[in-house]
Homo-oligomer: A and B are copies of this chain.
């Protein structure tokens, strides 16, 4: 079946590991249509991967199987995870990587029974190829093996806005040096933003686009994925604010600032 399968990993592009994962899938479902998202997620940076996943997950057609592997705990006790969300599948580690796709959606989550998928598994070091690849391949064939999966209640791990203090944690700096914070605009519906503060920069405004400020000046905006972003018009916020702080301070609906 010609199902679309996407792959995002921190495997890098100088080795054959992503290739091994793709080959394993194609040896099970030779007709699968594989699409690389990118294999340069900063190693072990789950928050970065979680944000990246959110930017493309829902763009793909229904039935797409999204494999995402950013997995500092491989070989430890962390579980493998399958989530069905909005008609699309997530396959990857249960470590918070899936958090940001689930904000505003209903979904079903399943632990992967590793021994059921791969009873004779020798290698402990390549779950991407040995567990996630056969799981994704089966899903792409329309096969949901009940004995491979155990329904459970997914627990998000990424820190979110602290409503008491207004502190919003940084998710990552992207390729362009934009700083992305873990606040989706849908979370502020009906609230008025009074002030945003990051290091020495304070503003009452969320701008509609980069060029709303002078070249080289910082601005906040809701980015193309709906998240709060601190950018610099035609520049890099990561450079501008170096060293980067891990939180932005938000004031809403208060009478006094």
Contact = CB atoms under 8 A, between A and B. Distances in A.
A18 B55 CA distance: 9
A75 interface: yes
A19 B38 contact: yes
Interface string A39-76: 11111000010011111101111001000000010111
A208 B15 contact: no
A37 B60 contact: no
Contact of A174 (B15, B42, B64, B130): B15
Interface string A113-126: 00000000001111
A106 to B, nearest CB: 20
Interface of A: 4, 6, 8, 11-20, 22-24, 26-27, 30, 34-43, 48, 51-56, 58-61, 64, 72, 74-76, 123-126, 129-130, 174-176, 208-211, 221-225, 234
Nearest to A207: B124
A41 B56 CA distance: 21
B61 A38 contact: no
Contacts of A224: 20, 123, 125-126, 129-130
A223 B60 CA distance: 34
A102 B185 CA distance: 43
Given A61-B27, A124-B210, A56 B13 contact: no
Contacts of A76: 211
A61 B22 CA distance: 11
A130 B159 CA distance: 30
14 contacts: A6-B19, A8-B19, A12-B38, A12-B174, A14-B48, A16-B51, A16-B52, A16-B55, A16-B56, A20-B55, A20-B224, A34-B35, A43-B175, A125-B223
Given A19-B8, A23-B56, A14 B43 contact: no
B223 A123 contact: yes
A204 B79 CA distance: 31
A12 B40 contact: yes
